[in-house]
Amino acid sequence: MSLPPIWVRRLVIAPTVVVLAFVLLTTLPIWLLLALAVSPLVPGRLRVPRVVFLLIAYLIWDAVALVLLAGLWVAAGFGRWIRSPGFQRAHYVLTGRFLSVLFWFARWSLHLEIDVVGTDPDTAQPGRPEIVVSRHAGPGDSFTLIHALVNWFAREPRIVLKAALQWDPAVDVLLNRLPNRFISPGRTRTATLEDQIGELATGLDHNDAFVIFPEGGNFTPRRRTSAIARLRARGLHDMATRAEGLRNLLPPKPGGLLAAIEASPDAGVIFVAHTGLDRMMTVSDVWRELPMDKRLVMRFWSVPPEEVPAGEQERIDWLYDWWARIDAWIDEQSPEPRPLWTPRSKPPTTP
């Protein structure tokens, strides 16, 4: 389904979410009682009440964010100064606060734990901009990465993300006010997109983190087969052969990362792997797993700028080497991996 024009999203969808959230909030006890009544008929521990609570909580979360964003727009001279450094910083602070609330709900209602291993993006090289290269494993893992960058590592992310996320009104308004790029599937190999990515990665400062997902989508066996076939059709047989060795990842599309490195040669590169929610892609997946009782593990590897290869083909080979390493790490994870540190403890200063 194509994305509605911006005036529909701002004047129809966003107000509808606010009104709906208000109605659900004022009638919350009724919905929870109905959910509790139905719960014995459905397998799982309080599965229906958990889903009802999460949906209503998320709508309220979205609506409150929209109200506060509207307040910032008015305070910024009805949008006149919305791109000024002060208001940009205010939007990053708001992002951090709302992600903290969202993950509090996730930990409380879903029994979700998050552990991090490897290099902290702050302690790798304080004051250095970073290009963060992450596997794509669903919106849950992506939100967790941004939560980590903003709240644990005090970074201001610039993100390349799917245009479909703009269906969420709060995400739509917030991320379009910050330096991000929304892209549509099928346009990831255009020179225009690489130019946009290069523009977005230009001028990164000491606390910026440019975030990119080179796979371009979530892993499925069918997508993996199709991606390998496309590489062979384009005559990229070496890349296709290397992609066949990946068990958990799609072959990376190097164009965006190469553009970002060219635009910000002084930035380090941080590769990110995560596992725990990677098989939960659809609503039915989430429903089946409730209550989750999941442990999401994130792994960071830091590469200083002087270790990034110089040539284009060398950088492509380097990216595929890292993708193979990440793929192997995912394979190695046991159901109960032991973290080196958690968000509530002091992170290490070395990988």
| C-alpha dihedral (8, 168, 171, 301), degrees to nearest 10 | -140
Query: How many CA atoms lie within 13 Å of 217's alpha carbon, on the beta-carbon side?
Result: 14
CATH value at residue 197: 3.40.1130
User: How many independent structural domains does the chain possess?
Assistant: 1
CA distance 195 to 41: 54
Measured distance between the N- and C-terminal CA atoms of the chain, rounded to whole angstroms = 43
pLDDT band at 341 (very low <50, low <70, confident <90, very high): very low
pLDDT band at 71 (very low <50, low <70, confident <90, very high): very high
Domain presence at residue 152: yes
Q: Does pLDDT of 238 surpass 60?
A: yes
Helices 139-147 and 85-110, packing angle to 10 deg:
120
Domain presence at residue 338: no
Structure tokens at 129: 């901009």
pLDDT band at 31 (very low <50, low <70, confident <90, very high): confident
Domain presence at residue 348: no
* Residue 323 domain boundaries: 6-332
pLDDT band at 118 (very low <50, low <70, confident <90, very high): low
For the entire predicted model, the pTM comes to: 0.84
Q: Does pLDDT of 204 surpass 50?
A: yes
Average pLDDT over residues 254-266: 94
pLDDT 10s digits, 284-323: 656 566 555 667 788 889 999 999 999 999 999 999 999 9
Domain presence at residue 77: yes
